[in-house]
Chain A
Amino acid sequence: MPAINIRGLSTHFRTPRGVVRAVQDVSFSVGAGRTLGIVGESGCGKSVLSRSILRLVPEPPGIRAGGEVLFEGRDLQRLDESALRDIRGSAIAMIFQDPMTSLNPVLTIGRQIGEVLERHLAYNRSKARTRAVELLETVGVQCGPKRLDEYPHQLSGGMRQRVTIAMALACRPRLLIADEPTTALDATVQMQILILLKRLQRETGMAMIFISHDLGAVASVADEIAVMYAGRIVEKAPRADLFESMRMPYTQALLRARPDLDAPPHMRLGALEGRPPDLARIPEGCAFAPRCSHADAHCRIGAPPLRADGGHSFACWKPIDHALPAEPVRANGDDGSPKP
């Protein structure tokens, strides 16, 4: 049984410019001990999706526009606020890009971890303090009780993220949602944090949803990867399968945009023309069609459904055919036109 099962989830926003369809008809499930990576560029809806799971999107302007979030037999979309509060931070925990989002700047780190334990596990103060030291050691923050009395601003970015991981793990969550947890960190620290997350996952068997714009980071931790574009999942496959036989031209373009470390300097990059669509004005047909080198008239009429080919699903009328020789990405364009 999956730890979490999401069916047709949609989250919209009512704005003066019209309804923004930030998340549209998203479905996936993640099993215990497994990691789903979600990758996409800014504005594709991946962060709104991660916040929609625990209903952290303020309503209004947010609208629950349909779908189910099934977790341990309950639909989180229909739960009342107090029941949700019991789940947040205990059965399902979340970490963010900026650790200061989840850390209170005027509380010592010992108090912050202690509060989680007192709130969800009814620990008393001294027991919470002892446990906080253990938790910090688990995430690689050494020197025990002295550290507990430090404030978040006294720590480096990497250390702060370790503290938020300690808080997230305090109640042994069954699901951890990590939203760009290493984006603000240096590469060497990013690697430390990812190794830590994977180790903790092995030890606790928790399921993980790992969200990032960085295909390399996602590929290094995920068992399965979903690519998001304009609010929808456009391709989803087991890790190896995705990179060996990607079907969506968008996934391929994302991959080709990054400089290749094995290529010599000054190689022209496979830049993608234009920009992702405005989520209040998603084009008809396939949302990627205006930027897609494979697109034809058909792509601009009907939105392609997400169809499955074994464990690999993709939403494309003209998927990449791996039986054919690879087609070059269209020559570099630009995003020269002003915002609408």
Chain B
Amino acid sequence: MSGSDTTSRAAASAGEQIVLRVVDLVRDYERSDGLRLQAVSGVNLVVRRGETLGLVGESGCGKSSLGRAILQLPPPTSGAVFFEGQDLTKLDRGTLRRCRRHLQMVFQDPISSLNPRRRVGEIVAEPLRIWDAAPSEEIRRRVCEVLEIVGFSPEEVWDRKPHEFSGGQCQRISLARAVVLTPALLICDEPVSALDASVQAQILNLLQEMKTRYRLTMMFISHDLAVVKNVSDRVAVMYLGKIVETGPTELIYRRPRHHYTRALMDSILTVQSKLPEQEALAGELPSALDPPGGCRFRTRCPRCEAKCAQLEPPLADIEQGHAVACHFPIP
């Protein structure tokens, strides 16, 4: 049993409700050349009601595959996904379908995730039409309300189509559609990565407002550490299919204990920082087709020793609520 799990049990007994519990999740993909690639290799995590878990890592680390496997899009190769106590991987199609209304997702590309032929009013109303047998005036009222919350004047945008909107505006429409059913869990996969800084800030502020208003529980997937810090209560750092460090946001950012987390932090360029002589992390992500044995980060780790090649470090608590998968964590 991993460290983060122990913590979450303790928290649950303290009265915090767990919305999502992922247990030993593995997601394999078969490539066209027949080789099997393991995108997610045994991930355990929990998300508690009302919190935002930030899932951060570089491209190819498996964070999007994990997000999709949670939603059963497609289902994981093995492992369990307990959502409100039910294991989604064991549900029949009909029950899973009914669960889906409580699980929503927002994607990176706001334009292609909206049907170009539909009008904004219909797009946002669709989940309600499918799931709620409410009268159409009631549906219209609720859609107008959510459109206003995301910053539109409903009458003005109702009959427009997605191509008439900018990327930031399309992301607002996606958000409206995702929250109109007040989901129990919202998974956002790089929702602001395609947007300019000023629009990014608008959407991040909006997400925060909606989180408060709808008491949203969120999983926020991103490669951008600054953005993740702004939105998350807790953070999980992924590397090559595994979570290497997880804990409360402030703690992780103030004092990262895993060498990879530290390298990620040191790679952030701000207007105050000067470009160092030496990169924070050399080399490239090893192939997920043939990950290094033992600790997966050892091939790029400054602290690597023989033990790291022989024994995989478990994700274990280093202090209350803060778990690290490293034999030689940063002191």
Contact = CB atoms under 8 A, between A and B. Distances in A.
> Are A and B genuine complex partners?
yes
Interface stretch (A16-24, A73-81, A85-93, A249-257): A249-257
A288 to B, nearest CB: 11
Interface in A245-266: 253-261, 263-266
B281 interface: yes
Given A259-B204, A271-B198, A338-B156, A188 B264 contact: yes
A265 B229 contact: yes
A192 B269 CA distance: 12
Interface string B148-179: 00111100110010001110110010000000
Contacts of B274: 220
A69 B264 CA distance: 40
A262 to B, nearest CB: 9
A279 to B, nearest CB: 14
A333 B223 CA distance: 26
A265 B197 contact: no
Contact of A257 (B201, B208, B231, B281): B201
B108 to A, nearest CB: 13
A103 interface: no
A271 B275 contact: no
A188, A261, A268: most-surrounded residue (chain B CB, <10 A): A188
Q: How large is the interface on A (under 10, 10 to 19, 20 to 34, 35 or more residues)?
A: 35 or more
Contact of A221 (B151, B199, B229, B275): B275
B227 interface: yes
A307 to B, nearest CB: 24
A332 B273 contact: no
Contacts of B253: 261
A326 interface: no
Contacts of B201: 256-259, 269-272, 332
Nearest to A291: B198
Interface in A271-310: 271-272, 275
A63 interface: no
B205 interface: yes
B269 A261 contact: no
A214 interface: yes
A339 B165 contact: yes
Contact of A191 (B157, B165, B200, B279): B279
B167 to A, nearest CB: 9
A189 interface: yes
Interface string B58-69: 110000000000
A215 B201 CA distance: 15
Given A219-B271, A261-B229, A266-B208, A335 B280 contact: no
Given A156-B284, A188-B279, A254-B197, A266 B231 contact: yes
Nearest to A259: B230
A159 interface: yes
B1 to A, nearest CB: 28
B270 A335 contact: no
21 contacts: A159-B284, A186-B58, A188-B264, A188-B267, A188-B279, A243-B272, A254-B198, A255-B271, A259-B230, A261-B226, A266-B230, A267-B230, A268-B205, A269-B230, A272-B201, A332-B201, A332-B205, A334-B172, A337-B156, A338-B156, A339-B169
Interface of B: 58-59, 150-153, 156-157, 160, 164-166, 168-169, 172, 196-202, 204-206, 208, 223, 225-227, 229-233, 249-250, 253, 263-264, 267-282, 284-285
Interface of A: 41-42, 156-159, 186-192, 194-195, 198, 213-217, 219-221, 243, 253-261, 263-272, 275, 332-339
Top 6 A-B residue pairs of the complex, sorted by shortest distance between their CB atoms: A334-B151, A216-B269, A336-B151, A271-B201, A259-B230, A269-B201
